[in-house]
Amino acid sequence: MHIAIIKRFPKLGMLWERSHTDAADNYFGIYDSPKLFPGTEKQFIEWEALLQDLDPKSLETFLRKAAGKVSAQRNPDRGWSQLVESMNEVRGYQYAHSLGYTTVHLLDEQAHPFPDIEAYNANGKCLIEVKTIQKSDEELRKRGQVQSEELGLPIRLRRLIKKRYSHAVKQISGHPLADSARKICYMVINLDLRTLLAKENKRLLEVFIQELQTEVEIYYISQYWPAKPSVS
């Protein structure tokens, strides 16, 4: 990672320095010149802004958890999806602040399967678990091809949302403060193109999410469709 890039994006530079910098698949390793492509620069600006919002303790937690994912390109078609999921946890951190919680921390999950985020304000506590739904393997195979809309939520998507939600409920319930805290599953859903093209699917997804949630609320975002909270 070029020194000029580290100076522009100091928090990303810290992540780079914590990672296996010599690994061939290190995400930041190819950026060895001071100039970035426009798409990459936009991504770096967004990620740096996310990390700048973290309090020192949460930043340290993030660096520890995410460092090993900088060189974890398990599937070339999916790239560094685990690193993206770590960044989504920081989006959940920002969401907690947007709800009015003044003290927010990313939790260290080494010893216990706790949720990702713990938040407080004068009115109470909140626990948030962040889950990411990736695009399907079929979508990756069709990348770059012309696709037609497909009405209805795919079975794979519905099953995966249910599975991620169930896991979130379990993690949140294991926290000592779960009984007295507000509980939220923050879900980032990356939809397949053919699902996105059918505008009616936006409503179907909203209905599916509303019917799924129980004592753990669900807030979800998906690309191209504006975020709509299903919590109050």
Structure tokens belonging to residue 49: 């802004």
CA-to-CA dists, residue 15 to 4, 87, 213, angstroms: 15, 12, 35
Tens place of pLDDT per residue across the chain (232 aa): 999 999 999 999 999 999 988 888 888 988 888 888 898 899 999 999 999 999 999 999 999 999 988 886 666 655 678 899 999 999 999 999 999 999 999 998 766 788 999 999 999 999 999 999 988 777 666 677 777 888 999 999 999 999 999 999 999 999 999 999 999 999 999 888 888 888 899 999 999 999 999 999 999 998 766 555 444 4
Q: Where are the domains of the chain?
A: 1-52, 56-229
CA-closest candidate to residue 161, choices 124, 196, 136: 136
pTM of the predicted model as reported, rounded to 2 decimal places: 0.89
